[in-house]
Structure formats: C-alpha cells, structure tokens
Amino acid sequence: MNELYAICKRNVWPVFRDMPILPLLIVSFIVAIVYVPLFFTLDNLRNYLLQSSDLLIISCGLTFVVLNGGIDFSVTSILTLGSVVGAYIMALSPLAPVPAYSIPVAIVVMMGIGLLVGVVNGLSVTKLKMPSFVATLATQLIILGLAVQFTSMVSDTSSIAGLPEAFFVLGGEGRFFFVPILIAFSVWLVSYWLLGRTIFGKRVYAIGVNPRVSFISGLPVKRTIVLLMVISGLFAGVASIIATARNQVGMSSLGDKMFLTTIASVIVGGTSTSGGLGGVHKTLLGVLFITLLNNAMNLLGVGWYTMMIVLGVLIILSAVSSYLLNSRAGWTWKRKVADV
Amino acid sequence: MKKRLIVNALLMLLAAVFLSACGRQKDTKGEKTITLGLSYDSLESAWLVMNHSAVIKEGKKRGAEVISVMAEGDAAKQNVQIENLLARRVDAILCFPKDSSAIVKSIKNCRAAGVPIVMINRSVSGSVLPDAQVIANNKAMGQKVLQTFADRARLEGKTYNVVLLIGNLSDENAALRKAGHRKAIADNPDVLKLMAEVPTEWNLDTALKGLQNALQANPDANLIVTPSDYLWPPIRSVLEQRGRWAKIGAANHFPVVSFDGDEVGMQYLKDGYNWGDAAQDAVEEAQLAVEWALKLIEGKTPPQNTIYDDGQIVTIDNFKEVAPKVWSYSLLK
C-alpha cells in the first residue's frame, strides 16, 4: 500500500499538480458516461471531437499570446472576416464556378487574412508600443466592421450560402469526419513542438515571465512578439476554414459569441494570464473540458444560462488555482530556466 | 499544497455534482417515450418567451419529452446543438432558427439521420427545406396592417412620411415583413411615402441610434412602422426625447404601426399609443409545430411544406372585438 502511494506520489501527483484540469476532465468524463444518456456512443464521441476541432485551433493560437502575458481579442473577428471573404470567393466571385480554383484560393486568402492581421497586431504592440489588449481590440473592431460591411455589399443577408460541396470535406462532412480532427491535432502538435522543443518556445516563456529581463539578456523580444501575434492570427485563419466548412455558409456573425469560450479554454486549461506558465498541452485539456460541458449539457437539455454560470465559476476557480500555483512560481520558473 | 488540493477537489466536486444532478433528472421508465429536441434562437422578446414555453407545454401535454437548447443568437452554436440533439437520438427536432441560411446544414444532418425537422416562426427558403415550417404569413400580415392604416389615413385626408424599421436581413421573417410593408407603401402612394429605412439587426441599441438619426435627418417623418413589438423600447425612448410620446388624439402624438401582438405592443394599443398591430399567434404556432412534428414521426406529411398562421390585424378601431383573440390579451393591464 505504501509502495503504491509512493508510486502515485512520484508519478501521478506531479502530472495532476501541473495540470489540475486533468483529474477534473477525467471525473467529468466518467460522470458523463454514467449519467448522460447516449453520451458514450460513436455518434456523440465523433460530434464531441468535431466540436472541439475549431476551438482547439483558435485556442492554441491564443495560448501563444497568453503565455507571453498578452491577449488577442481579434481572433474571433478574423474567424468572421475569413468566413465571409472565403465564402464570397467560393460562392459569388468569378472563380466560384470552378471549385478546383476557388477552394484553394479561398483557403489561402482565409489564412492570409489571419496572417496579415497578426502582423498588424504584432507591429502595433512592438512598434507603436500599444498594449496587446488595446491593439487587438482596435483590430477586432475594424475587422468586424469590415466583415459586416463586406457581407452587406455582396449579399442581401448576413450570410453567404452556396459553397461548393467539396469544401465541406474540411468541415468533416459525412465519412470525412476525421479531416477537421486531424487538422486540429496537427495544429496542436506543431504548437506543442514550437513551445516545447524549439528555442522560439523557450523565448516565449522567458518573455512571458519578464520581458525586460529577457530584453537585457539579449533575447529578440520584439521579433518574438510579432511572431506570436502572427501565429495567433494564422491559427484563427485556419479555424475560420474549419468553422465555415462545418456550417456550410460564410457568416458575418460566426465569431460573435466565441471569444468567451476560447479564452475560457485557455484559462481553465491552466495557462496563466500573467504569462510564462502553461502551454498547449493544458489548452488541449481546457478545450476538451469546455466542449464536454457543452456537449453533455445539450444532451441533458440544460439551459445555456446555466452553462454560462458554470463557465464563470470555473474561470474563477481556475484563476484561484493559477494564483496558488503562482505562489510557487519561483520553483516552476527555476525549472523552466533550467530547461532553457 | 493543501490549498491546491482543496481547489482541485472543489473543481472535481462541482463537475461531478452538476452533471450527476442533471443526469438524475431523466427518468428511466421502460416504455418508449417520444423525445422532441427543441433548438431555439434566443428568448429576446415576450413573443419568443411565450412561444418557447408553449412548445414545451404542448409537447408535454401530448406525452412527449422535450429537450430544449438555446443558441443565444449564435447560428454556429445552433448547428452544434442540433448535432448533439441528433446524437441524443431525439425522434424529431423543432427549431426556431437563428439564420435561415446557416440552418440548412442542420436540415441536411437531420435528413441523413432520418429525423424530421420542423421550423417554427422563421422560415427557410431555397432548395433544402425542412419537413415542415409553421410560420406567420409575414408578408401578407405586414402589408395588411399598413394597408388598414393607409385606408384610415385616406378617409381622414392625411398623408404620412414613413420611417421603416428593418429587422436582421439574415432573418427571413424580417425580409418578408419588410417586403409586406414596402408593398403597402407602394400601393398607397397618395397617403404613404417612404422617407427612411433603419436597419436594427434586432438590436435595441442599434435601433435606438438608427431611429434617432433617421428622425433627425427627416424632420417631416410622421409615422414609424416597426417589424416587431420587440423594438418598442427604443421607439418610446426616441419619441420621449423628441417630446412626441403622446396618446392618439394629442397634438404631439406620433403614430406607430407594429407587428407581433405581444403584450407590450398590445398594451400600447390598448393605452392609445399604437395604431395597429399584426398579431402572430405564439401559442397556435407552437401547437401546430408540435402537432406536425408528432405526425411526421408517424410518417404523415403536411399537404404543403409551409403551414401559415394568418394572425390577427388589431387596430384601435377593432380592438374590443379582435384583441381578445390574441394570445397576449390576458396579460394586458
């Protein structure tokens, strides 16, 4: 018994300590299997993973920025602008009759929009010395305005329908359900590799803890921040492709209500909003947990307002947990510096 | 360490208690109960609240279990929620769609799953249609209520400059009401003239600012036509600011013609602020939708895809006779 306790203390407890959301996710999953009717079915598990896919991509991008102690409000409006511009190219532009051309062009443009906004955000923060929340709030408003204006110029309604069937494969249509899941997992793997296995990743953590010390130490702080913003924007562009394909229309309201869920996934996962602590491994758990809550509550017919209350309570508890973790940040930081 | 343990334990307890508490709400009777999934856009107006509760009430009355989910104005979320309802293996879906185009994806999913889907109040047009749609005859009702006002204006020898409020153009209802209102204006050029159209996106703040600007830019405007009683708060606010919130007959009265027949619009009609209301029936539409969902489960199909609620045109002239037929009449003070 003592031996088992020692093994748990040595192997399991450090994992739970690093990712407090993990035991919560496991318990919730078991409770859902036991109590939620038809939760543990192939159909629903497929839905569960599909519904996690675009959220995971956009949350991975946001994690880079949050790790740096910043925030990117523009991600959900990138989702919206990408959606309507991409849908326009595929449904209404001169390229529309030839899906073999219109789909790749739309995909490139949707990702390009994210990339461009990321560059603008990055330069606003580094060159204009704007706090990230101000810079990205401004771009969020501009992009959202552009998206609504653009939609009203090309369509009588606030959505653009008539997208080519082949594009829906990217949203997991029919037997291609694994496509968005694979894309999301690939994005997560790349993010994990970038943060955990590259010098760039170590710089992100270092700058997140103390940008001034990092600068004095000779780290390319500005370049790293621009890159973070570009990654965040680019991933939002990729999420835009998946979300548009899943809904089969371009919508000027696509990202309207998504920011809360996205930031909740990052924070509930365990990435600290003060920067330097966390990672996409935690964000993955946060995304799986939030999607699990949504999914299970839908199956139970629990109201959206209840879901909002639960989400709010979880964010507060996560923040408390993060504070308690930060009280031992000296230990954690020593470990991270040793890794660098 | 202890503090963190407590927080972790609290988090786990929260999830366990919440999900298990919700899960226990379900009974485990052996007999097969019909389950209806209800996917609703939002509960922003009194009409929607009444319609939503009437669907649940009617479902239960007919012995069905109703699982209700709320999209909160998010079309993408609504599609996800319908996926989850299908995974829950509901027998039919009743849907008040947020976006008439985006909901097509869910209609396709329902078809693939062999589950009938009935739209309530907001219709879908195009090549992919739901199994049935129970909607108000928006265009005809919008035209009729304004035509009634125009007839009276002609008798009184008055002319009106119209400020037309527009809902959200992704909402088929808003587009049809706009078309009905515009047809009435076009049919009566001697008494009605369109001065301005104000897009509201079904947002009270957008409506307030838009209406303020429209009345500022068009000082000759003397009639407001609204596509929903939901927009009464900004209308009242703007008219109060301009000193024009007064009962019919007062010198500074500013006429308003509305749509919906909820208790706000009907109360203003009773009190003498509203000239006429095209009242759609929140309860009847709910009852028809549930009835057809159950019939579709049995394999019956409606004679036409769209089942219309022709509603009631209530005016200051026929209030006593017609208002008691409107669902919100019992709620009036």
CA-nearest residue of chain B to A152? Answer: B169
pLDDT at B13: 59
B21 pLDDT more than 60: no
Q: Do domains B32-136+282-309 and B138-280+313-331 have the same CATH topology?
A: yes
pLDDT at B26: 47
Query: Each residue of A283-328: pLDDT tens digit?
Result: 999 999 999 988 888 888 776 677 778 777 877 777 677 666 656 5
Query: Each residue of A25-41: pLDDT tens digit?
Result: 898 899 899 988 888 99
Structure tokens at B270: 């009773």
Query: Each residue of A5-21: pLDDT tens digit?
Result: 777 777 777 777 777 78
Q: Which residues contact A214 (CB under 8 A, 6 or more apart)?
A: A203, A206, A207, A221
Instruction: Please report, rounded to a whole number, the percentage of residues in chain A having pLDDT higher than 90.
Output: 55
What is the C-alpha to C-alpha distance for residues A317 and A311, in angstroms, rounded to an integer? 10
pLDDT level of residue B168 (50, 70, 90 thresholds): confident
pLDDT at A335: 46
Query: Each residue of B40-58: pLDDT tens digit?
Result: 998 878 889 999 999 999 9
What is the C-alpha to C-alpha distance for residues B69 and A188, in angstroms, rounded to an integer? 30
Yes or no: say if A125 and A132 are a contact pair by the CB < 8 Å rule.
yes
Angle, helix A75-91 to helix A99-126, in steps of 10 degrees: 160
Contacts of A300 in chain B (CB under 8 A): 19, 22-23, 25-26, 67
Name the more confident of A307 and A163: A163
Going from the C-alpha of A207 to that of each of A71, A304, A331, the distances in angstroms are 14, 38, 17
pLDDT at B293: 96
B27 pLDDT more than 50: no
B300 pLDDT more than 70: yes
ipTM of the complex, rounded to two decimals: 0.76
Yes or no: say if A242 and A229 are a contact pair by the CB < 8 Å rule.
no
Query: DSSP states of B70-131 as a string?
Result: E-TT-HHHHHHHHHHHHHTT-SEEEEE-S-TTTTHHHHHHHHHHT--EEEESS---SSS--S
Query: Each residue of A238-270: pLDDT tens digit?
Result: 999 999 999 999 988 888 878 988 999 999 898
pLDDT level of residue A331 (50, 70, 90 thresholds): very low
Contacts of B74 in chain A (CB under 8 A): 253, 256-258
pLDDT at B29: 47
pLDDT level of residue A60 (50, 70, 90 thresholds): very high
What is the C-alpha to C-alpha distance for residues A200 and A204, in angstroms, rounded to an integer? 6
The answer to whether the CB atoms of B23 and A36 lie below 8 A apart is yes
Yes or no: say if A157 and A95 are a contact pair by the CB < 8 Å rule.
no
pLDDT at A323: 67
What is the average pLDDT value for chain A, to the nearest integer? 88
In CATH, the architecture of B138-280+313-331 is: 3-Layer(aba) Sandwich (3.40)
Query: Each residue of B68-109: pLDDT tens digit?
Result: 999 988 899 999 999 999 998 999 999 999 888 889 999 999
What is the C-alpha to C-alpha distance for residues A89 and A104, in angstroms, rounded to an integer? 10
CB pairs under 8 A between A and B: 168
pLDDT at A1: 64
User: What average pLDDT does range A50-57 have in this prediction?
Assistant: 94
Yes or no: say if B290 and B62 are a contact pair by the CB < 8 Å rule.
yes
User: What average pLDDT does range A77-102 have in this prediction?
Assistant: 95
CA-nearest residue of chain A to B199? Answer: A152
Chain B nearest C-alpha distance from A209 (Å): 22
Query: Each residue of A181-213: pLDDT tens digit?
Result: 999 999 999 999 999 999 999 999 999 988 889
pLDDT at B28: 45
pLDDT at A326: 58
The answer to whether the CB atoms of A300 and B76 lie below 8 A apart is no
User: What average pLDDT does range B172-198 have in this prediction?
Assistant: 93
pLDDT at A270: 87
B7 pLDDT more than 70: no
Q: Helix, strand, coil % (nearest 5) of chain B? A: 45, 20, 35
CATH code, residues A19-339: 1.10.3470
| A326 interfacial to chain B (CB closer than 8 Å) | no
What is the C-alpha to C-alpha distance for residues A328 and B2, in angstroms, rounded to an integer? 13
Name the more confident of A159 and A8: A159
CA-nearest residue of chain B to A79? Answer: B76
| A218 interfacial to chain B (CB closer than 8 Å) | no
pLDDT at B101: 86
**Nearest beta carbon to residue A324 from set B7, B66, B108:** B7
The answer to whether the CB atoms of B16 and A257 lie below 8 A apart is no
pLDDT at B8: 58
User: What residue segments make up the domains of chain A, in order of their start?
Assistant: 19-339
pLDDT level of residue B25 (50, 70, 90 thresholds): very low
Buried b (16+ CB within 10 A) or exposed e, A214-248: beeeebebbebbbbbbbbbbbbbbbbbbbbbbbbb
**Nearest beta carbon to residue B75 from set A20, A251, A303:** A251
Which residues are registered as beta bridge partners of B133? B119, B306
For the ranges A47-51, A56-60, B29-33, which has the lowest average pLDDT?
B29-33
What is the average pLDDT value for chain B, to the nearest integer? 88
User: What residue segments make up the domains of chain B, in order of their start?
Assistant: 32-136+282-309, 138-280+313-331
By DSSP bridging, strand A250-251 and strand A159-160 are: antiparallel
B30 pLDDT more than 70: no
pLDDT at A339: 40
CATH code, residues B32-136+282-309: 3.40.50.2300
pLDDT at B333: 85
Buried b (16+ CB within 10 A) or exposed e, B198-218: bbbbbbbeebbebbbebbeee
Contacts of B105 in chain A (CB under 8 A): 246-249
pLDDT at B175: 84
Yes or no: say if A253 and A80 are a contact pair by the CB < 8 Å rule.
yes
What is the C-alpha to C-alpha distance for residues B159 and A294, in angstroms, rounded to an integer? 54
The answer to whether the CB atoms of B67 and A301 lie below 8 A apart is yes
With left for phi above 0 and alpha for psi between -120 and 50, is residue B12 left, alpha or beta? alpha
